[in-house]
Amino acid sequence: MDALILIGSLALLLLLGFPVAFSVGLSAFIGAWWIDLPWEAVVIQITNGVNKFSLLTIPFFILAGAIMAEGGIARRLVNFAYIFVGFIRGGLSLVNIVASTFFGAISGSSVADTASIGSVMIPEMEAKGYPRDFAAAVTASGSVQAVLTPPSHNSVIYSLATGGVVSISSLFVAGIFPGLLLGLCLMIMCIGFARKRGYPKGERIPFKQALKIFLDAFWGLFTIVIILGGILTGIFTATESAAIACLWAFLVTMFIYRDFKWNQLHILLFRTIKTVTIVMVLIAFAASFGAVMTFMQLPQMITDTFTSISDNKYVILMCINVLLLVIGTLMDMAPIILILTPVLLPVTNALGIDPVHFGMIMMTNLGIGLITPPVGSVLFVASAVSKQKIEQVVRAMLPFYCVLFIVLLLITYIPAISLWLPRAMGVI
């Protein structure tokens, strides 16, 4: 009955149209009232939820990504990606995916990736004979890489949701191979489509022009070196690398590229502060929700339920995948991570599944949810940028969903994809 009151009140508030963060917070207070837990204890959990130094990683990475997104880096990354794959049949679709790989490693956000790369690539692909809905589908599916590869904001949130059991650095390193695998699988499918549908080839870029393009993109690409290099070598913590990346993005955008006007800077900062505020309020309320769940012993009940279904971890993982895929279509990614991680982590721990590996499973599942109706935020951005109806984009997305599900299964049942590199680097 305790769990019904807590979860039922959350579901009711969401159905009534309350914002997710406030729905989570209010349901925590309702649950506390039901079990006679003092509301002061809930308030303490709210303040403790955001009183963590590692949380600084989120605003720094969000600001760095926003600055680079507005500073002309998207066009430079597209040009740089064209050097490597633009000459292949269907090359523009491959350029789209490779550029998303680079941009995701700077922004850490699928929404920013879709908006920035899509605004450049979708009109260009259409001009070269690609259907606009196909271009939107390529852009949206390619942007899922950003939730896996560093500096994924959602990996930071997952680390916090585990209570610090999993380090941000280990998640960043673990996401490299899954993100690259996703991009590679999408590229293989796009090559197949290009040959079947006769999409055009591009021209090879002469060496001198390629060198010029590289030098132009180098300053933005160096942000990736700061983020990954600093963490992998141990020079920076994840929080320190985020701060330095933010400073570097500002210097590159305002003094080297100079595509962004100073009089627009305050608008960008205001937009970033608004985004960060929403995330922080959600994290604070989710901490109280998680505490109430713990008092109700809900995680233990969920663990017992799953283990009663089967003692085979592969069966349980499939059940968890189905659960996350369904919920991922109904709610945004961050609140799901904050609410379900404390619930599902005891289940996976009982099965002997590494929490870093489970983090990659969760990121992939919920990344698919970002491009799935009815509330997929990335899907809506792709629809808006491409000026196509949601139905048209979803129809074009169907083959991409199949590829994404295959990648999900590979990540789920081959732990080495996620764990080999962090173990080799000694971060887990």
Which residue type sits at 249?
Answer: A
Query: Which pLDDT score is estimated for 299?
Result: 76
| Least confident residue range of 25-29, 187-191, 229-233 | 229-233
| pLDDT band at residue 68 using 50, 70 and 90 as cut-offs | confident
Q: What is the mean pLDDT of residues 235-256?
A: 86
Question: Do residues 16 and 276 make contact, with C-beta atoms less than 8 angstroms apart?
Answer: no
Query: Which pLDDT score is estimated for 92?
Result: 92
Q: Is residue 7 part of a domain?
A: no
pLDDT in tens, 148-167: 998 898 999 999 889 888 99
| Burial track 355-366 (b if 16+ CB lie within 10 A, e otherwise) | bbbbbbbbbbbb
Q: Which residues contact 186 (CB under 8 A, 6 or more apart)?
A: 97, 138, 141, 142, 400, 403
Query: Which pLDDT score is estimated for 261?
Result: 82
Q: Is residue 348 part of a domain?
A: yes
Query: Which pLDDT score is estimated for 401?
Result: 96
Query: Which pLDDT score is estimated for 307?
Result: 76
Average model confidence (pLDDT) across the chain: 88
Q: What is the mean pLDDT of residues 234-262?
A: 85
Q: Is residue 410 part of a domain?
A: yes
Q: Is residue 17 part of a domain?
A: no
Give the dihedral sign, CA 265/267/273/276.
negative
pLDDT in tens, 367-414: 999 999 887 889 999 999 998 888 899 999 999 999 999 999 999 999
Question: Do residues 239 and 60 make contact, with C-beta atoms less than 8 angstroms apart?
Answer: yes
Query: Which pLDDT score is estimated for 5?
Result: 85
* CA distances, 228 to each of 51, 162, 240 (Å): 26, 22, 12
Query: Which pLDDT score is estimated for 209?
Result: 92
Residue whose token pair is 């004979």: 129
Q: Is residue 111 part of a domain?
A: yes
Q: Is residue 18 part of a domain?
A: no
| pLDDT band at residue 62 using 50, 70 and 90 as cut-offs | confident
Q: Is residue 305 part of a domain?
A: yes
Query: Which pLDDT score is estimated for 280?
Result: 86
What's 348's DSSP letter? H
Whole-model pTM over 0.85: yes
Q: Is residue 213 part of a domain?
A: yes
Q: Which residues contact 280 (CB under 8 A, 6 or more apart)?
A: 50, 55, 58
Tally of domains within the chain: 1
Residue 8: is its pLDDT beyond 90?
no
Domain that holds residue 208: 24-425
| pLDDT band at residue 16 using 50, 70 and 90 as cut-offs | confident
Q: What count of Cα atoms within 13 Å lies in the side-chain half-sphere of residue 68?
A: 34
| pLDDT band at residue 72 using 50, 70 and 90 as cut-offs | confident
Q: What is the mean pLDDT of residues 21-25?
A: 87
Q: What is the mean pLDDT of residues 173-180?
A: 95
pLDDT in tens, 287-346: 888 888 888 887 778 777 777 888 888 999 999 999 999 888 888 888 889 888 988 998
Residue 70: is its pLDDT beyond 80?
no
Backbone angles phi, psi at 202, to 5 degrees: -100, 180
Q: What is the mean pLDDT of residues 412-422?
A: 95
